[in-house]
């Protein structure tokens, strides 16, 4: 059905989820009767980056000591939004859609998750994709990269594919309104991630997971599932390839002061 992704995205904004999540809760959100996290109603988190650094021993095995993943199947964490990472940890901890991360975060406290997220957000992003990265460059032809750029920036209305930049920013560094705070204290865009320079293999796996309905346990997941359902394998490869080909650059994800 044409424009299905856009329709689902609008529906998610109107949908009243079963679990209004607040970043000030105790992290105990694993009730099977409450499957959705309402990430439109969260507040910006805080944490202790220095304390987070002391808690990264296990994380570094996959995500590297500097937040740059050791293999392309794992995401880079350096410079990602602290709010995005925190809510990802909450999602893994809930275990609604079990993953290899679920047992790794089982013993993390609320403060642990905040501290780790703030620490990785504080790390500088590299100026370019790391040398030696095993991205399959031979598969990323100029035509495929051009297709990925077009899909990211403009979508494909004829196929119902919305533009990715609407949620992830024109430069793929996250939405410009990531730190916008509503009068009630909510930051509805805080949990949208930056994608620029992320690993090709990770992006492919993530998009395919959304398309297969494996990550529809939050309002953001609901939106992304609807969008990913409009993508075939070629489109996923193109978008993931283009994003991974971008130099990450010195500028981190948006860090402008809160807008009230």
**Which residues, listed in sequence order, are joined to residue 161 by a DSSP beta bridge?**
156
- Radius of gyration for the chain, computed over Cα atoms and rounded to the nearest angstrom: 17
Q: pLDDT tens-digit profile of 164-180?
A: 999 999 999 999 898 89
- CA dist 217 and 231 (Å) reads 20
DSSP state of 208: H
Alpha-carbon gap, residue 62 to 72, rounded angstroms: 10
Which pLDDT score is estimated for 137?
A: 52
Instruction: Report the C-alpha gap between 10 and 38 in whole angstroms.
Output: 15
Q: Which CATH number fits domain 4-245: 3.90.1300.10, 3.20.20.70, 3.40.50.1260, 1.10.760.10?
A: 1.10.760.10
Domain range annotation of the chain: 4-245
SS3 category, 169: coil
Place of tokens 């395919």: 208
The C-alpha torsion from 244 through 49 and 87 to 19, rounded to 10°, is: -160
- Is the pTM above the cut of 0.85? no
Q: Which of 93, 104, 97 is nearest to 29 (CA)?
A: 93
Cα 59 to the chain's mean position, in Å? 17
Both tokens of residue 117? 């997220």
Longest Cα separation, the chain: 50
Tens of pLDDT along 77-131? 999 999 999 999 999 998 887 888 999 999 999 999 999 999 999 999 876 655 3
pLDDT digits (tens, 9 = 90+) for 36-51: 889 988 999 999 999 9
Q: What is the pLDDT of residue 179?
A: 85
pLDDT, position 257? 35
CA dihedral 218, 175, 45, 196 (to 10 degrees): 90
């Amino acid at each position: 059905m044409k424009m299905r992704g856009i329709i689902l995205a609008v529906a998610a904004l109107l949908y009243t989820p079963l679990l209004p999540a607040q970043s000030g809760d105790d992290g105990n959100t694993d009730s099977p009767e409450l499957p959705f996290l309402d990430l439109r109603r969260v507040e910006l988190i805080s944490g202790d980056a220095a304390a987070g650094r002391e808690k990264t021993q296990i994380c570094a095995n996959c995500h590297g000591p500097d937040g740059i993943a050791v293999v392309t199947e794992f995401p880079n964490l350096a410079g990602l939004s602290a709010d995005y990472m925190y809510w990802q940890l909450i999602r893994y901890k809930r275990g609604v859609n079990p993953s290899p991360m679920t047992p790794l975060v089982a013993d993390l406290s609320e403060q642990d998750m905040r501290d780790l997220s703030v620490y990785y957000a504080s790390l500088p992003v590299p100026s370019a994709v790391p040398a030696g990265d095993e991205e399959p460059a031979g598969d990323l032809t100029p035509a495929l990269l051009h297709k990925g750029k077009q899909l990211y920036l403009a979508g494909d209305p004829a196929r119902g594919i919305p533009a990715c930049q609407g949620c992830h920013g024109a430069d793929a560094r996250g939405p410009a309104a990531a730190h916008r705070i509503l009068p009630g204290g909510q930051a509805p865009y805080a949990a949208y991630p930056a994608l620029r320079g992320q690993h090709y293999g990770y992006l492919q796996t993530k998009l395919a997971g959304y398309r297969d309905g494996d990550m529809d346990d939050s309002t953001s997941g609901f939106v992304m599932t609807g969008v990913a359902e409009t993508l075939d394998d070629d489109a996923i490869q193109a978008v993931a390839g283009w994003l991974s080909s971008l130099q990450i650059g010195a500028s981190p994800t948006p860090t402008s002061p809160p807008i009230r």
